[in-house]
Amino acid sequence: MCSAIKGRFKMDDGHRFFSGSFREAQQRLQAAAARMGVVARQFIHPLLGLDGEPLGTDVYLIGNPAARKVLAIESGTHGVEGYAGSAIQLALVDEILPHLKSPDIAVMIVHAVNPYGFSWRRRGDEQNIDVNRNFVDFADSNATRNELFEHLAPHLVPEQWGDEEVRGGDLALEGLRQTHGSDAVSRAMRRGQYSHPGSVFFGGRGPSWSRLTVETIADEYLATAADVLLLDVHTGLGSYGKLQLLSIEPASSPISGDLRRVFGPRLRSTSDPASGAANASGNIFAGYTRCLAQGRFLGIALEFGTVDQQRIQHALRADAWAYLSDDDKRKVFRERSRREMLEVFCPTDPVWRDLVVKDGVEQFRKALTWMESR
Ligand SMILES: [Zn+2]
């Protein structure tokens, strides 16, 4: 039993917390927070969403605002992955956080870090930027160099998106795996690239709207905190319905041992090659770490597995192709692409959705107990 939250909660029907659109997700969370007397601070995005709705990132602070310990949970760093993170956040605000009893901890909820991708069912933002690769130092050419990606790029997003072209691309990529090694190719894809704005895992050419918003949130809400733990919810890595926890702490550090005792063997360090995580200097945790030089910061990604990697890669490549330019063929294709992106990053299967909410809430409760004990 989590000491910071009293009571028993049944989370076997967590799929009810999932929403069908950005607007619905945003409004349900706002309404649940309002029942607790909490109002969102809104960071308005300059563009509109798929249904013509205004977009933005909402920040909620629950508990003692002067607390020196902050437990934060973020959704939608990768746009379309935000449906899962938003469902966990809604479950927390609806059922768990009204019972928060710890005076020493503030809970910060950041809803939709990349609201554009959330609404438009894209992993990237309005500039096709992968926000979790955008926190690099753009003046440092070592951070943005990715030579192997130059060889992959022509085969990832072909001129035409047809069965033949995709098969040809797959074969060429397989050849590159044979030449350079599967791990090296996978790393080159996932670490981010800064030279092909229309392709997959594009880290941008400067700070994105989401990065600037995150930096403002860090400055305004966390600058005086002594101890911050941030849970960033993702989907699309690992086995179906299974959760991996990826910590930015090196596996050998004392705190990693502590974390493994709290979260169990599913917790891995992002520096562990077996984690499958990108070793990205430009990830959002690196951004927070720089902003919060005064206090202790720890980031853990919650990665919920969905479908197999090949289907995910195809969906990402098709999505990139659909937005490369504005010709009619691509515009028509976008609707199909959006459906596939939603399905591969947020399966409609209620069993998967139940697991996500149950596991997400459970990890949050463990994190809360651990923060209390520190
Ligand atoms: Zn992600």
For 97-143, what is each residue's pLDDT tens digit?
999 888 899 999 999 999 999 999 999 999 999 999 999 999 998 88
* % of the chain with per-residue pLDDT over 90: 77
Return the pLDDT at 2.
Answer: 47
285, two tokens: 């945790």
Q: Are 26 and 49 in contact (CB under 8 A)?
A: no
State pLDDT tens for residues 219-265: 999 988 999 999 999 999 999 999 999 998 888 888 888 888 889 88
Residue 100 DSSP class: B
**C-alpha 123 to ligand 1 mean position (Å):** 8
Q: In 10 A of CB 51, how many CB atoms?
A: 10
**C-alpha 243 to ligand 1 mean position (Å):** 13
- pLDDT surpasses 90 at 69: yes
Residue given tokens 């996978």 in the structure block: 186
**C-alpha 103 to ligand 1 mean position (Å):** 32
Q: What DSSP string runs through 170-199? A: HHHHHHHHHHH-HHHHHHHHHT-BSS-TTS
What is the layout of strands, in order, in the sheet containing 227-235?
41-48, 54-63, 105-111, 69-74, 227-235, 296-304, 243-247, 267-269
**C-alpha 270 to ligand 1 mean position (Å):** 13
Q: What's the whole-number mean pLDDT along residues 191-212?
A: 96
Report CA torsion sign: 181, 186, 191, 195.
positive
Question: Could you give the C-alpha distances from 276 to 59, 62, 251, 309, 355, in angstroms and in order?
Answer: 30, 33, 14, 11, 21
- pLDDT surpasses 90 at 4: no
Q: Where are the alpha helices (DSSP H) in 228-327?
A: 254-263, 284-291, 309-322
**C-alpha 228 to ligand 1 mean position (Å):** 21
Return the pLDDT at 1.
Answer: 40
Tell me the pTM: 0.95
**C-alpha 14 to ligand 1 mean position (Å):** 21
User: If 0-12 CB within 10 Å is exposed, 13-18 middle and 19+ buried, where does residue 220 land?
Assistant: exposed
- pLDDT surpasses 90 at 48: yes
How many whole angstroms separate alpha carbon 12 and alpha carbon 36?
Answer: 23
- pLDDT surpasses 60 at 7: no
Return the pLDDT at 156.
Answer: 95
Out of 20-34, 140-154, 180-194, the most confident range is 20-34
Cα 248 to the center of its chain, rounded Å: 14
Mean pLDDT of the chain: 92
Cα 123 to the center of its chain, rounded Å: 9
Strands 54-63 and 267-269: unpaired
Local structure of 122: helix, strand or coil: coil
Q: What's the whole-number mean pLDDT along residues 6-29?
A: 87
- Which amino acid makes up residue 51? D
Q: Are 169 and 240 in contact (CB under 8 A)?
A: no
